[in-house]
Amino acid sequence: MADFGATKITGSGIYVFKTGDDSFTIKRVVCSPVTGKINVTCDNEKYLPEGEITKDSDIIAGKVIGIFSYV
């Protein structure tokens, strides 16, 4: 579940990124309170970290606020 009204980075968490007109990807954002840097990473070790972005980046489509799982 994602909050698509949250289009600005408000802190570390998992965010939805726009990757095209109708495509999205989910990435972890890590904010450093010491340096102020915002790094985009992936929990899947097969992928390299994405790098740094700015707090006002316009590629944020939303923030993940929950998950569903089947029992």
What's the chain's Rg over C-alpha atoms? 12
Beginning with the edge strand found earlier in the chain, give each strand of the sheet holding 60-64 in spatial order.
Answer: 2-3, 60-64, 13-18, 24-31, 38-41, 51-53
Confidence of residue 12 (pLDDT cuts 50, 70, 90): very high
The structural domains of the chain, with segments of one domain joined by +, span 1-29+46-71
Give the model confidence (pLDDT) of 24-62 as tens digits: 999 999 998 888 899 998 888 888 778 888 877 888 999
| pLDDT score, position 42 | 87
Q: What is the pTM of this model?
A: 0.82
| pLDDT score, position 16 | 93
